[in-house]
Amino acid sequence: MTAPRLEALHFGPDQRLFGLRSEPLMRPRQTAIVICQSWGPEGMRCYRGLHLLAQQLAERGFETLRFDYTGTGDSADVDGAPLALWLSDIAVAANELRELSGASRIALLGLRLGALLAAQAADAARADEVLLWDAPEDGRSWSAEMLTLDRQQYDRKNRTRPPALRLKLIEDELLGSPWPADLAGAIEQLRLPAGAPRTRHFYSADIRPDRDDALPDTAQWDDLSRLDSPWIPARSIATLCERLAVQLP
Partner 1 sequence: MTIRERALQFGPGRGLLGVLSLPQKVDSGLPAIIVPNTGFEHRVGPHRLHVHLCRAFAEAGFAALRLDLSGMGDSDSGRVNDAVADQICAMDELDRLGIASQCVPIGLCSGGHDAHRFAKADTRVVAAAFLDHYFYATPKSRRISLRQKLSDPRRILDFVKRRLSPGAGAKAGGGIDAEWFEQPDQTSFQQDIDGFIQRQMPLFYLYSGEYQNIYNYPDQLLDVCPKLGDYDRYELHYFAESDHTFSQARMRLQLIDALLSWLHNEVVVRRQRIAGGGVPAPTAPQRKIAAAVTTAASVNQTRPSSWAASDAVALSGFTRKLGIDG
Enumerate binding residues for partner 1 (CB under 8 A): 3, 6-10, 18, 20, 44, 47-48, 51, 68, 72-74, 76, 153, 157, 159-163, 165, 167, 170, 173, 175-178, 228-230
Do 130 and 200 touch, CB atoms closer than 8 A? yes
Least distance CB 244 / partner 1 (angstroms): 21
C-alpha–C-alpha distance, residues 106 and 29, integer Å: 11
Of 164 and 194, which CB lies nearer to partner 1 in the complex structure? Answer: 164
Of 30 and 177, which CB lies nearer to partner 1 in the complex structure? Answer: 177
C-alpha–C-alpha distance, residues 97 and 27, integer Å: 16
Of 127 and 175, which CB lies nearer to partner 1 in the complex structure? Answer: 175
Residue 241 burial (CB count, 10 A): 19
DSSP category for residue 72: S
DSSP category for residue 203: -
- Give first-to-last CA distance, the chain, whole Å: 23
Least distance CB 5 / partner 1 (angstroms): 9
Least distance CB 210 / partner 1 (angstroms): 30
**Crossing angle of the two packed helices 82-101 and 181-188, in degrees rounded to 10:** 70
Least distance CB 176 / partner 1 (angstroms): 4
Of 154 and 200, which CB lies nearer to partner 1 in the complex structure? Answer: 154
Do 86 and 36 touch, CB atoms closer than 8 A? no
Q: What is each CA distance from 202 to 31, 107, 117, 148, 218, in whole angstroms?
A: 18, 14, 16, 24, 12
> Which among 106, 174, 115, 114 is positioned nearest to 143, based on CA atoms?
174
Of 165 and 194, which CB lies nearer to partner 1 in the complex structure? Answer: 165
Least distance CB 211 / partner 1 (angstroms): 29
Do 108 and 36 touch, CB atoms closer than 8 A? yes
Least distance CB 73 / partner 1 (angstroms): 5
Of 77 and 210, which CB lies nearer to partner 1 in the complex structure? Answer: 77
